């Protein structure tokens, strides 16, 4: 028989709120200047998770779950996860044992916010102890001040490695420039002001860069975001109007629109049509 205990009480801003303590045993200390998208504060420890919901929070004791419904949110150390429904899975709670939340499931209108970075999806799972979040569904995207990253299949966040991974027609848009690949891996680091920014994006499979004047295709690439310089390698083709250059690698300056092409053993091939 499933035992259900439901918490509902009014507060000035919500109809329900619940404070739960996390005990991440053995979690290493994290420098405040090296925090990722979902990192806790330095030192980890018993950092509480605050869960709020407009329509109440339900405790399923036998299933070891808390379910928050209606504009639900969970916040911890400056990171906020919101969704229509949040399900917190925990272990422990018997006798003097603390309840340890190890996973949060988010369903419908999922948004993760940390500082100036926001990620959106239809469904999400946050593995707290591994510090990994995965978003799936339609209209997947991550937005910060520098760029917008979208994906078809999934968006992943790896806190310990400071990475965001977009899979399936992954696209990053910055100003009038667009980078598309099968997989995009964004490396996140703090800037001089301490804000988290995407420093570098690695592109793998079906790389396609489009600017105002050119289209560059290749098998893999690296985009240095602050410099706005992309390096594409592997059967590279640069198309400008009806003209095309083929080579092994290309360096593209997205600020100036200039490209430099190199070929295997110094060979570069091109098809240049005479202008009218």
Q: Which of 232-236, 244-248, 261-265, 271-275 has maximum average pLDDT?
A: 232-236
pLDDT classification of 265: cutoffs 50, 70, 90:
low
Determine the structural domain holding residue 147 and report its residue range: 139-276
Are 144 and 275 part of one and the same domain?
A: yes
Residues 110 and 4 in one domain: yes
> Would you say how long the chain is, in residues?
276
The pLDDT of residue 266 is 55
Residue 217, pLDDT > 60, answer yes
Q: Which one of 16-20, 156-160, 222-226 scores highest in mean pLDDT?
A: 222-226
pLDDT of residue 219: 95
Last residue of a domain, one of 99, 114, 129: 114
Please state, as a whole number, how many other Cβ atoms lie within 10 Å of the Cβ of residue 142. Answer: 25
* Structure-model confidence comparison of residues 46 and 258, the more confident one: 258
Same domain, yes or no, for 247 and 159?
yes
Task: Kindly state the average pLDDT of the residues 44-48.
Answer: 57
What is the secondary structure of 50-77 as a DSSP string?
EEEETT-EEEETTTTEEEEEEEEEEEET
Query: How many structural domains does the chain have?
Result: 2
DSSP assignment string, the chain: ---EEEE----SS-SEEEEEE---TTPPP--GGG--TT--STT-SS-EEEEEETT-EEEETTTTEEEEEEEEEEEETTEEEEEEEEEEEEEE-STTPPEEEEEEEEEEEEEEEETTEEEEEEEEEEETTTTEEEEESSSEEEE-SS-EEEESSEEEEETTTTEEEEEEEEEEEETTEEEEEEEEEEEEEE-TTS-EEEEEEEEEEEEEEE-SS-EEEEEEEEEETTTTEEEEEEEEEEEETTEEEEEEEEEEETTTTEEEEE-GGG--EEE-PPP-
Using a 10 angstrom Cβ sphere, with 0-12 exposed, 13-18 middle and 19 or more buried, the burial of residue 51 is buried
Per-residue pLDDT for 115 more than 60? yes
Claim to verify: residue 64 and residue 164 sit in the same structural domain: no
**What does the alpha-carbon distance between residue 67 and residue 69 come to, in Å, rounded to a whole number?**
6
- Mind listing the pLDDT tens digit for each residue in 142-176? 887 777 899 999 999 887 788 889 999 999 988 78
Q: Tell me the average pLDDT across 193-203.
A: 84
pLDDT at position 145, please?
Answer: 75
Domain co-membership, 179 together with 87:
no
Q: Which pLDDT score is estimated for 30?
A: 30
Structure tokens at 182: 């099968």
Is the predicted pLDDT of residue 9 greater than 60, yes or no? no
Supply the pTM of this predicted model.
0.77
Single out the residue of 104, 53, 111 nearest to residue 81, CA to CA: 111
Residue 37 has pLDDT above 70, yes or no: no
Residue 254 maps to a domain: yes
Residues 147 and 268 in one domain: yes
Whether residue 136 is predicted with pLDDT greater than 70 in this model: the reply is yes
Asked if residue 128 is part of any domain, the answer here is no
Mean residue pLDDT of the chain comes to 78
pLDDT over 80 (residue 32): no
- In a domain? residue 134: no
What would the mean pLDDT of 117-142 be, rounded to a whole number? 90
Task: Report the pLDDT averaged over residues 88-117.
Answer: 85
């Amino acid at each position: 028989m499933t035992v259900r205990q439901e918490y509902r009480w009014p507060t000035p801003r919500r109809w329900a709120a619940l404070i739960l303590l996390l005990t991440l045993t053995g979690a290493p200390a994290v420098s405040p200047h090296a925090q990722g998208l979902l990192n806790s504060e330095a030192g980890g420890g018993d950092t509480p998770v605050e869960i709020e919901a407009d329509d109440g929070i339900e405790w399923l004791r036998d299933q070891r779950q808390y379910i928050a419904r209606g504009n639900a949110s969970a916040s911890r150390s400056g990171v906020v996860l919101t969704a229509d429904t949040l399900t917190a899975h925990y272990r422990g709670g018997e006798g003097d044992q603390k309840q340890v939340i190890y996973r949060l499931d988010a369903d419908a209108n999922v948004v993760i916010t940390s500082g100036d970075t926001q990620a959106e999806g239809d469904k999400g799972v946050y593995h707290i102890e591994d510090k990994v979040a995965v978003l799936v569904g339609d209209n997947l995207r991550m937005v910060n001040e520098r760029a917008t990253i979208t994906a078809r299949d999934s968006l992943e966040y790896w806190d310990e490695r400071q990475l965001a991974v977009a899979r399936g027609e992954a696209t990053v848009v910055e100003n009038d420039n667009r980078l598309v690949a099968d997989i995009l891996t964004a490396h996140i680091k703090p800037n001089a002001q301490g804000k988290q920014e995407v420093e570098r994006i690695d592109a793998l499979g079906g790389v396609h860069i489009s600017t105002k004047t050119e289209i560059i295709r290749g098998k893999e690439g690296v985009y240095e975001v602050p410099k706005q310089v992309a390096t594409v390698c592997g059967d590279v083709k640069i198309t400008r109007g009806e003209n095309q250059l083929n080579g092994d690698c290309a360096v593209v300056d997205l600020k100036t629109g200039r490209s430099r092409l190199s070929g295997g053993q110094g060979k570069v091939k091109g098809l240049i049509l005479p202008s009218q």
